[in-house]
Amino acid sequence: MNNTVNIGIIGQGFVGSAIREGLSKYYSIYTYDLDKTKCNSTHQEVCRESNIIFACVPTPMRKNGSCDTRILESVITKINDEAKSDPMRNRPV
């Protein structure tokens, strides 16, 4: 059994890239971003290879001051769908 922890990071902006830099000395890192120059994996690879996934995507403020979480919700749905497609992986979603 492989005891290595693989970290996935979706979104390579300010927060995602800081997490990548901070953890890359200790873990294998799989990154995905809409900007292909900022990632080393596909969305599917991040989901398939990672034990832990950080979703570091924008939550822009609406005019009323609340956060627009649609981007985050979309990412979580994609992670969930990918995890469901691989029943051999035992991990919470």
Q: Does residue 89 belong to any structural domain of this protein?
A: no
Domain harbouring 52, CATH code: 3.40.50.720
How many structural domains does the chain have?
Answer: 1
First to last CA, the chain: 22
Q: Does residue 17 belong to any structural domain of this protein?
A: yes
Contact 10, 43 (CB under 8 A): yes
Each residue's pLDDT tens digit, 41-93: 999 999 999 999 999 999 999 999 999 999 999 999 999 888 887 766 655 54
Closest CA relative to residue 29, chosen from 16, 82, 73: 16
Q: Does residue 24 belong to any structural domain of this protein?
A: yes
Q: Does residue 93 belong to any structural domain of this protein?
A: no
According to the model, what pLDDT value does residue 1 have?
Answer: 41
The range of the structural domain enclosing residue 79 comes to 6-84
Q: Does residue 92 belong to any structural domain of this protein?
A: no
